[in-house]
Structure 1
């Protein structure tokens, strides 16, 4: 499966920095680029459960392709969400179902820095995306 352009950009950006400190800075920069959610989207309806930090996710589908927006109250998580969105935005429900999160963060060189709780949280976000995509409208 070919990667979306944003995912290719992410790979290019994250294969450069050497140290974890450089990657963490880059991660936070990516997080700052997330499109803001409306105040009413910071509600329980959009909250992803299973994350230690608070995460909100909104998904829309157009022409069979999903676009997600997400944010978190934690800076590092916002960066990880930005990388997840780079990987999944523009995919169909079927493509979304095949995304391998562990492989994606391994390619980015970030897997070993993800604590089990962060990995579980990101998996919960991906799972929520899949639920939205396979729901009544998807």
Structure 2
């Protein structure tokens, strides 16, 4: 079962009639996301394998995973917001057990993102798993 925040996103996607509306919603989620401090946008936080510039900085508190992320592309910022809803607040040991592919498929992202964006999304998921695993 996904987090309530992710379930809210899934419900919104079910409500929206077409992919263009969903795409706009993802962009709005990116706009609503707090910006990452530029001082944290360094090679150590950069996600390799993304066509856009992407940074993810983990925050671990009381054994729970959270992260801050940013991108130079608004749609990617929205994808980061979706991943945040999927992973934020999980105990470290549960992060690797999330079937991100299946959860994201519920949103139709696997069908509507370009291959470059899909590869970048997979790279972000892998980075989140690596960061949580290193902290566990």
2:27 alignment counterpart: 28
Question: Offset of 1:24 from its aligned partner?
Answer: 1.0
Cα distance in structure 1, aligned partners of 2:101 and 2:133: 21
What is the root-mean-square deviation in Å for CA atoms of aligned residues? 1.3
Structure 1 runs of 4+ aligned residues shifted over 2 Å read none
Q: 2:108 matched to which residue of 1?
A: 109
Give the match's secondary structure for 1:80: helix
SS of residue matched to 1:15: helix
2:92 corresponding residue in structure 1: 93
Q: Deviations over 1:73-124 (max 9, x none)?
A: 1111111111111111111222111122221121112220022221211111
Q: How does 1:30-69 map to 2 (within 5 A)?
A: 30-69=29-68
Cα contact 1:15–1:109 (8 A) shared by 2? no
The normalised TM-score by structure 2 is 0.92
Tell me if structure 1 keeps the 8 A contact 2:96–2:133: no
Structure 2 gaps of 5+ residues are none
Distance 1:86 1:78 in 2: 13
